Chains A and B, each alone.
Chain A
Amino acid sequence: MINYNVDENGFYGKFGGAYIPEMLYPNVEELRQNYLKIMAEPEFQEELQTLLKDYVGRPTPLYFAKRLSEKYNTNIYLKREDLNHTGAHKINNTVGQVLMAKRLGKKRIIAETGAGQHGVATATVCALMGLECIVYMGEVDIQRQAPNVARMKMLGATVVPATSGSKTLKDATNEAIRDWINNPEDTYYIIGSVVGPHPYPDMVARFQSVISEEIKVQLKEKTGSENPDYVVACVGGGSNAAGAFYHYLDTPEVKLVAVEAAGLGVGSGESAATSVLGREGIIHGSRTLLMQTDDGQVTEPYSISAGLDYPGVGPLHAHLHQSGRAIFESITDDEALQAVLELTRLEGIIPALESAHALAALGRIGAKPDEVIVVNLSGRGDKDLTTYLDRFELHGK
């Protein structure tokens, strides 16, 4: 049987590892040696579980979407990560990592963000814990996700624009890593997805795994079986997908569908569909699938969705792709926007642009009337309202 868990060297199959400059070695090594031990401590777990319940608002509902199900002639359940405090799954991870940072005695927190959801979730837990917070965000993303920038500022975080390269998530991550190099003693880097050097992909997946842990219990209550036929999630770096897939990885009857952003189309040159366009390479300390030129220069990706606008995927997803364990789909900007409107008008739920990519894949799956699909609704669309009003020409109506 194929192993989908990380091995002792930090690899998923041939993907993963820790390809970092020596300057980062002491911090990453400290984390590697301690993360599992700390996560296993009863006091840590108690603090984490209490926060997840009373502060984040977990468990999030598993909602049977009746009208959406009728439309696709199957049974669709939505895992409502959009109902978490701060509006996305990202806070599951930041609550866990901020507790980790405190255990390691760190005083200053840094993070990268694309859509701003991870930045907000980090700024939130830093406010909660009274820690200094610096968030790196691409200049392009600062423009297109303005409400989240405002929230971070309100929460007391410093938002630093990343002005290099495509000025999006990749570049924000570069800047966060450089900050960590410059501040090796007191700083903890809360990475926002299952990316980066080992042990981050594994640690973030573990913190997000609460999603599938809950789905199993909730689905069993509702359908009598804890296993759906499909679990569908969007993939930027892949943290909400990792969380939704986690407890199903070794259950092959459950088909896993990972949905990437095709941007203007996979062949258009303006895309972020890494599984289609990427080759094995190294980005942000991890060996994974990477969009790059023949010469190994990282290609600038494109998606309307800031959270999916990333030229790599987490090493777990590269492994799921290569082993065939997950089905990969890619959804264009227009298809995602259609899905936004569809969910909004059928169910009264305005999804985030990222999550809409997962919803748009419903039409591709071809599920039968008696089958069950769980879609991970990773976040809500408040941050995207300006884009929606523009695209749907709703201004002034």
Chain B
Amino acid sequence: MENRIKTLFEQKPQGLLSVYFTAGYPNLEDTVPIILELEKNGVDLIEVGMPFSDPLADGPTIQQSSEIALRNGMTIPKLFEQLKDIRQYTQIPLVLMGYLNPVMQYGVERFCQKAKEIGIDGIILPDLPLSDYVREYKALFEQNNLSKIFLITPQTPEQRIREIDSHTNGFVYMVSSASVTGSTNGKAVVNTGYFERVGQMGLRNPGMIGFGIHNRDTFSQACNHARGAIIGSAFIKALAQEGSLEQNIQTFIQRIKQEV
């Protein structure tokens, strides 16, 4: 079967909205309800975060959601258990995102097989180096029809962007500015020079902009420079609001999508 991420980018030219949330937050069993509610509200792609005790690339919001999720009892086996029937309910592209150590302890091969079985489409492991991926895991990911998505930043040299583009499929995750996740210092979307530079490189893969996208303005600006954008920390903050999960998700997503 076609990878759902690939199909998505073939079918929808622009303005794609991808949402990240930490599995197991706010409550252990919220994973599937959050996915279904996001789809219902017209989100295009979902990144399910696998919480880690020491998330180096994350700011305070995702650190805290990870800590709570772990305290709630989230683990990779638990997440796979929750997702085992997900394809009976939704065909939205699903990406698992987390750090390498928990995946390594689970077993990378077993992890990829299980992800395929469930119908996962892509994997993001920010601390798995490109060189290790190419040497040890690329064949495994491809056999299991999993897109391995890599990050690039404003500091990534052109040569390396091309190398990453050549080894990946799905999309290139353009980190908006030099920062951990959740920064709203405004650097995020003024990085027009970098976005244009990458845009003009004619990469094989579409680009999605993430990190620091937190409202309608930043989302629509990012969409002007790439195929779409990814929202994480701002969504996690929305989940912490008073009110039902459904209501919080609906309010947040509708606000982002207005007039884009």
Interface residues of A (CB under 8 A from B): 9, 17-23, 25-26, 164-165, 170, 174, 177-178, 181-185, 279, 281-285, 290, 292, 294-298
Chain A residues whose C-beta falls within 8 Å of the C-beta of B180 in the assembled complex? 23, 178, 181-182
Contact, CB under 8 Å: A165 / B179: no
Determine how close the nearest CB of chain B comes to the CB of A294; give it in whole angstroms.
7
What CA separation (Å) do A174 and B128 show in the bound complex? 17
What CA separation (Å) do A198 and B150 show in the bound complex? 20
Is B75 part of the binding interface, using a Cβ–Cβ cutoff of 8 Å?
yes
* Contact among B53, B104, B150 for A297, CB-based, below 8 A: B53
- Which bracket fits the contact residues of B? 35 or more
Instruction: Tell me the B114-131 residues at the A interface (CB within 8 Å).
Output: 126-129, 131
Nearest 3 pairs between A and B by C-beta?
A296-B105, A296-B102, A21-B126
Q: Mark B36-69, 1 if CB is under 8 A from A, else 0.
A: 0000000000000000111011010001000100
Contact, CB under 8 Å: A20 / B129: yes
Contact, CB under 8 Å: A184 / B53: no
A-B pair count, CB < 8 Å, reads 101
Contact, CB under 8 Å: A164 / B63: yes
Contact, CB under 8 Å: A21 / B101: no
Determine how close the nearest CB of chain A comes to the CB of B41; give it in whole angstroms.
30
Determine how close the nearest CB of chain A comes to the CB of B183; give it in whole angstroms.
7
Given known A-B contacts A182-B179, A281-B104, A283-B54, A19 and B153 have beta carbons under 8 A apart: no
Contact, CB under 8 Å: B105 / A182: no
Chain B residues whose C-beta falls within 8 Å of the C-beta of A290 in the assembled complex? 101
Contact, CB under 8 Å: A22 / B151: yes
What CA separation (Å) do A19 and B130 show in the bound complex? 10
Which chain B residue has the least Cβ–Cβ distance from A282?
B101
What CA separation (Å) do A23 and B156 show in the bound complex? 8
Chain B residues whose C-beta falls within 8 Å of the C-beta of A174 in the assembled complex? 54, 56
Determine how close the nearest CB of chain B comes to the CB of A308; give it in whole angstroms.
19
Chain A residues whose C-beta falls within 8 Å of the C-beta of B52 in the assembled complex? 296-297
* Contact among A181, A283, A284 for B178, CB-based, below 8 A: A181
Which chain B residue has the least Cβ–Cβ distance from A287?
B104
Contact, CB under 8 Å: B156 / A17: no
Given known A-B contacts A26-B156, A182-B180, A184-B178, A281 and B101 have beta carbons under 8 A apart: yes
Contact, CB under 8 Å: B175 / A23: yes
* Contact among B75, B127, B152 for A285, CB-based, below 8 A: B127
Contact, CB under 8 Å: A25 / B102: no
What CA separation (Å) do A281 and B63 show in the bound complex? 20
Determine how close the nearest CB of chain A comes to the CB of B240; give it in whole angstroms.
18
Known: A21-B151, A181-B179. 13 other contacts (CB 8 A): A17-B132, A21-B126, A22-B150, A23-B178, A26-B153, A164-B67, A174-B56, A182-B179, A283-B54, A294-B105, A295-B77, A296-B101, A297-B52
What CA separation (Å) do A170 and B54 show in the bound complex? 9
Determine how close the nearest CB of chain B comes to the CB of A132; give it in whole angstroms.
18
Which chain A residue has the least Cβ–Cβ distance from B76?
A295
* Contact among B103, B156, B160 for A296, CB-based, below 8 A: B103
What CA separation (Å) do A285 and B128 show in the bound complex? 9
Chain A residues whose C-beta falls within 8 Å of the C-beta of B151 in the assembled complex? 21-23
What CA separation (Å) do A297 and B104 show in the bound complex? 11
Determine how close the nearest CB of chain A comes to the CB of B52; give it in whole angstroms.
7
Contact, CB under 8 Å: B152 / A22: yes
What CA separation (Å) do A284 and B75 show in the bound complex? 21
Chain A residues whose C-beta falls within 8 Å of the C-beta of B160 in the assembled complex? 25
* Contact among B104, B106, B131 for A282, CB-based, below 8 A: B104
Instruction: Tell me the B121-158 residues at the A interface (CB within 8 Å).
Output: 126-129, 131-132, 150-153, 155-157
Chain A residues whose C-beta falls within 8 Å of the C-beta of B63 in the assembled complex? 164
What CA separation (Å) do A311 and B117 show in the bound complex? 35
Is B100 part of the binding interface, using a Cβ–Cβ cutoff of 8 Å?
yes
| 18 pairs, CB–CB < 8 Å, chain A vs chain B | A19-B132, A20-B127, A20-B129, A21-B126, A21-B151, A22-B150, A23-B151, A23-B175, A23-B178, A181-B57, A182-B179, A185-B155, A281-B105, A292-B105, A295-B102, A296-B103, A296-B104, A298-B101
What CA separation (Å) do A17 and B132 show in the bound complex? 9
Contact, CB under 8 Å: B127 / A23: no
Is B16 part of the binding interface, using a Cβ–Cβ cutoff of 8 Å?
no
What CA separation (Å) do A129 and B202 show in the bound complex? 45
Contact, CB under 8 Å: A23 / B57: yes
Is B70 part of the binding interface, using a Cβ–Cβ cutoff of 8 Å?
yes
Q: Which of A17, A26, A181, A281 has the most CB of B within 10 A?
A: A181
Given known A-B contacts A164-B63, A297-B52, A22 and B101 have beta carbons under 8 A apart: no
Which chain A residue has the least Cβ–Cβ distance from B126?
A21
Q: Which of B56, B70, B77, B100 has the most CB of A within 10 A?
A: B56
Contact, CB under 8 Å: A295 / B178: no
Contact, CB under 8 Å: B102 / A297: yes
Which chain A residue has the least Cβ–Cβ distance from B57?
A21
Contact, CB under 8 Å: A184 / B129: no
* Contact among B70, B75, B100, B183 for A19, CB-based, below 8 A: B100
What CA separation (Å) do A295 and B51 show in the bound complex? 11
Contact, CB under 8 Å: B153 / A283: no
Which chain A residue has the least Cβ–Cβ distance from B154?
A184
Determine how close the nearest CB of chain A comes to the CB of B150; give it in whole angstroms.
7
Which chain B residue has the least Cβ–Cβ distance from A163?
B60
* Contact among A19, A23, A177, A182 for B129, CB-based, below 8 A: A19
Chain B residues whose C-beta falls within 8 Å of the C-beta of A283 in the assembled complex? 54, 101
Which chain A residue has the least Cβ–Cβ distance from B152?
A22
Contact, CB under 8 Å: B59 / A298: no
Chain B residues whose C-beta falls within 8 Å of the C-beta of A165 in the assembled complex? 53-54
What CA separation (Å) do A295 and B78 show in the bound complex? 10
What CA separation (Å) do A23 and B58 show in the bound complex? 12
